Chain A
């Protein structure tokens, strides 16, 4: 335990570094996946092509991708940007499929009625389609957040600092506490991000809260007859 007390600063710093790697990747994968998922949802042809592509992406071993990326990006192997790009790609592998499912899950009746109300195509997307896809998008984003935080540790193997550095360093120097601290911090960070996402979701989508959905069937007053003035 002595190691932990004397290295608390370092653990704290690595948590921040780890966040700086994961959060941009999580956000970028979400931002890129939503439009791609929407295209996949719109066309049957695009659906099979795009989803096969992202499935393929997920099949690429992470270490191989980390090492191959610099050849494409021209950055050095140890650049954190490489890691962020790789994590973004892995996030997209999960998120594109979920985004397509999320748009598929929006009720056609509701969209038709929105059109009948007089929403333009773009208005309908931002005001009706995207918010209604929200709950499924959020469930995908939660998976991406947790898996990105955990996957970011692999960067330590190629020399990009993260909480994973506690594993590699702990192994090399035989400090068990350091390894455990790395694992616990990674899990805590993943759970923390998940907590934030759940609460942001509740704020943005109050209508999807379970307590809102469950009160249906409770007797509600119907005024018998009121004349129009």
Chain B
């Protein structure tokens, strides 16, 4: 479990990225931080592995304040996946995946063997192991990034807009893949995105953040749609428009669900 207690981050230039955040991210669930740029979602994520230290307040992992843990040690125990994969371009795929186990002192042979298994886990062919990242497609690089994040079997997996730079088709594929993996592995995932659809698809808990680093609402996707906390949230999730503003139309005695433009979205199951 990850817990933020009254966390504020003000950068030296005066910008307040995160303002007085209290939030609990439950274990074995996916928490998605969503908001437009400048809402402090990435800063919030980076405070978990001490890439950023809060100006005030506490971040706790299973009750222990992360400020008391050596950052390098802490990071070696937390999976991290970022946009554009962040793979080391001078290391082969297999060595990229084995990076953290090697840093933690696992033998090279063992780390490489495990890396090959992880290629299977993320649905990549083992023949890619000896390639360099630049020889992979964007989607494949992201899969390798996920494999690397999972390499030490961490309890916590931080994902910073991991699918932000791939095309929509690959993105949908990767999202499904993450849902499958999460179903099997049950990590405590913290996922950052600016895409509310992605947030609703992946999140058990969705945290909607607004400018100035404040949380507008943290709840399940269903709860947010049913009871948006304020106008900002309602507007952000588009509860009153487009494909979310569904209503029923009766056709030959059956209820058809149509969207705001009158286009059919499906049949109401009885």
Interface residues of chain A, those whose CB is within 8 Å of chain B, are 107, 109-110, 112-120, 123, 128, 131-132, 134, 205, 207-208, 212-213, 215-218, 220-228
Contact = CB atoms under 8 A, between A and B. Distances in A.
B82 A112 contact: yes
A207 B104 CA distance: 25
A119 to B, nearest CB: 7
B89 interface: yes
Interface residues of B, number: 43
A94 to B, nearest CB: 24
Interface stretch (B60-68, B72-80, B237-245): B72-80
B183 to A, nearest CB: 10
Interface in B105-156: 120-121, 123-125, 127-128, 131-132, 134-137, 139-140, 148
Interface of B: 49, 51, 72-77, 80, 82-91, 99-100, 103-104, 120-121, 123-125, 127-128, 131-132, 134-137, 139-140, 148, 158, 180, 184-185
Given A109-B82, A132-B90, A207-B132, A220 B99 contact: no
Nearest to B85: A113
Contacts of B158: 116
Given A109-B82, A222-B123, A223-B120, A207 B72 contact: no
Given A117-B80, A216-B135, A220-B140, A207 B127 contact: no
A218 B132 CA distance: 13
Contact of A213 (B125, B134, B148): B134
A226 B123 contact: yes
Contact of B123 (A132, A208, A218, A225): A225
14 contacts: A107-B89, A112-B82, A112-B86, A116-B86, A116-B158, A117-B76, A117-B80, A117-B148, A208-B90, A215-B135, A216-B136, A216-B137, A220-B136, A222-B125
